[in-house]
Amino acid sequence: MTTIDDLIQKIKFYAPNADLDLVRLAFDYAKKAHNGQKRLSGEPYINHPLATAMNLAEMKLHQDIIIAGLLHDIPEETHPENPEIALREIKHNFGEEVAFMVRGITKLGKIKYRGMERYLENLRKMFIAMAEDVRVIFIKFADRLHNLETLDAQPPAKQKRIAMETMEIYAPIANRLGMGEIKGRLEDLSFPYLYPRDFEKLKKEVAPRYRAKEDYLKKTRIKLLKAVSQFSFGPAGEDQKNQSGRIKVFSIHGRTKRLWSIHKKLQQKGYEDLSKIYDLVALRVIVDTVAECYTVLGIIHQLWKPLKGRIKDYIAQPKPNGYQSLHTTVFCDDGEIVEFQIRTKKMHEEAEYGIASHWYYDERGSMPVAKDLKWVRELTKWKKEFEENQRYLESLKIDVFQNRIFVFTPKGDVIDLPENSTPVDFAYTLHSDLGDKCIGAKVNEQIAKLDTKLQSGDVIEILTDKNRKAPSADWLKFVKTNAARHKIKSHLKQSKKLR
């Protein structure tokens, strides 16, 4: 069981200058807010936000994000009817940034599941819509990871739904963001709920193979380490970065393939068993520079004979999500087949938690729902900004959304509109009849004027009068969409003619 001290220790390790007192304060605050509340499993509610925060610390994120993780369920769990009350207090105590992120998470919770196909499309849009700030997505991933870990306590129908949603929405987005570690965890936690028999079977088959390889990999690792440490780049000092002329190895470690990706591979290739999956276990070599990556590849090929067609240079040609590494599969001693993955430390960190461009392409390489939206193209700028900006997380407030807002129908459909759009724009976007007969609107369940400027995340309900004959000419003064303007004008022209 995780404790607040574990969390503090973890943060201290990668961010010694973080304001740990503030983190502890946030924990105490959350604990008090959730006092008396229980998870379905029966454990105190605070365990959930704490585990969420721990997942965020695992990603080495900033203290503000971790604090937002600790507080993320307070508005919904303590003031479900008016989350703003809790948010105001959070802002007062922990500042604008934290409150902003908690609000983002609270908004995401609004969407209710109804029917898979519709949901998938909406949820993808929603994620982008709500990702006014990518930090909110990180918190959502961390939250979802713990919910999956405790999914056993939920009724079977909900288990299936959450697992499916994770597989279809969360994991692909994690993949698009280049967050391989998160994607892998999300998938392997969902797998047993979707295909329990396949999961159990595979788990049983894999275990002895891993055990059998353990000793062998240990020996292989030592042999490689020895060869690498004997290598010299030539006269010391030639390479400015590396005075010693030696290869700087950060680590050589084994990595076992995730169960879900084994399952997928078996299915895709139509394999009967695991014998043709060569990368069940791989050895990962982490070095300092790109030059060293290629050198290590050469050393491996001198030691052992490579399999044909199994050398992949993802450094020269990165995967679409930005993944970089050299892969090679070789016949090791005694004819054992082993895959090696060679990368720099930076590549390694990016492969585990990095954020990457091009993520809006779907798994099959085609563009989903959002392809005609101009800002989607802008998202490719992400990665660049990310790399250029030191304080990258703060820079990731996705300014490409500046000219668009995303609002919801009462059923949870996402509608995107230009900034400063009004309920009338919303009504005409849905249906011209809805616009023509519109007499009022509710925004977030409160009656609102028809010229109200809508905000991202608002839920809009249009009130109509079926006897209403025509839109009002006054509306032209405030509508923002061409569609609304056009329809109102043409309606007015028509009714003039009739008179």
Contact footprint for Mn ion (CB under 5 A)? 73, 143
Which residue, 89 or 143, is less far from Mn ion as judged by CB?
143
**135 and 393 in contact (C-beta within 8 Å)?**
yes
Distance in Å, CB of 454 to Mn ion, minimum: 27
Q: Compute how many other C-beta atoms are within 10 angstroms of the C-beta atom of residue 35.
A: 11
Residue 131: DSSP 8-state: T
Distance in Å, CB of 67 to Mn ion, minimum: 15
Q: Compute how many other C-beta atoms are within 10 angstroms of the C-beta atom of residue 268.
A: 8
Q: Which helix (H) or strand (E) holds 311?
A: none
**271 and 247 in contact (C-beta within 8 Å)?**
no
Which residue, 79 or 346, is less far from Mn ion as judged by CB?
79
Residue 215 and residue 213: Cα distance in Å, rounded?
A: 6
Which residue, 139 or 441, is less far from Mn ion as judged by CB?
139
Q: What residues have CB less than 8 Å from 205, skipping those under 6 apart? A: 273, 274
Distance in Å, CB of 135 to Mn ion, minimum: 15
Which residue, 73 or 187, is less far from Mn ion as judged by CB?
73
Residue 269 and residue 205: Cα distance in Å, rounded?
A: 18
Which residue, 143 or 350, is less far from Mn ion as judged by CB?
143
Distance in Å, CB of 443 to Mn ion, minimum: 26
Distance in Å, CB of 249 to Mn ion, minimum: 40
Which residue, 113 or 392, is less far from Mn ion as judged by CB?
113
Q: Is the dihedral of CA 74, 79, 81, 85 positive or negative?
A: negative
Helix (H, G, I), strand (E, B) or coil at 343: strand
Which residue, 52 or 175, is less far from Mn ion as judged by CB?
52
**What's the chain's Rg over C-alpha atoms?**
27
Token readout for 66 is 């971790």
Distance in Å, CB of 72 to Mn ion, minimum: 6
Distance in Å, CB of 29 to Mn ion, minimum: 16
Q: Compute how many other C-beta atoms are within 10 angstroms of the C-beta atom of residue 328.
A: 20
Q: Compute how many other C-beta atoms are within 10 angstroms of the C-beta atom of residue 496.
A: 9
Q: Compute how many other C-beta atoms are within 10 angstroms of the C-beta atom of residue 284.
A: 17
Q: What residues have CB less than 8 Å from 468, skipping those under 6 apart? A: 436, 437, 438, 439
Which whole-number Å values give the CA distances from 473 to 414, 436, 490, 493, in the listed order? 28, 11, 11, 11
For residue 250, give the nearest of 225, 233, 222, 230 by alpha carbon.
225
For residue 61, give the nearest of 155, 171, 1, 137 by alpha carbon.
137
**253 and 229 in contact (C-beta within 8 Å)?**
no
Q: Looking at beta carbons, which residue is closest to Mn ion?
A: 143
Which residue, 322 or 457, is less far from Mn ion as judged by CB?
457
Q: Which helix (H) or strand (E) holds 40?
A: none
Residue 440: DSSP 8-state: E
Residue 105 and residue 127: Cα distance in Å, rounded?
A: 11
User: How big is the CA angle at 100 (ends 95 and 102), to the nearest 5 degrees?
Assistant: 100
Distance in Å, CB of 37 to Mn ion, minimum: 12
Distance in Å, CB of 141 to Mn ion, minimum: 11
Distance in Å, CB of 144 to Mn ion, minimum: 8
Which residue, 53 or 281, is less far from Mn ion as judged by CB?
53
Which residue, 174 or 299, is less far from Mn ion as judged by CB?
174
Distance in Å, CB of 159 to Mn ion, minimum: 16
Which residue, 142 or 173, is less far from Mn ion as judged by CB?
142
Residue 473 and residue 492: Cα distance in Å, rounded?
A: 7
Which residue, 106 or 344, is less far from Mn ion as judged by CB?
106
Distance in Å, CB of 146 to Mn ion, minimum: 7
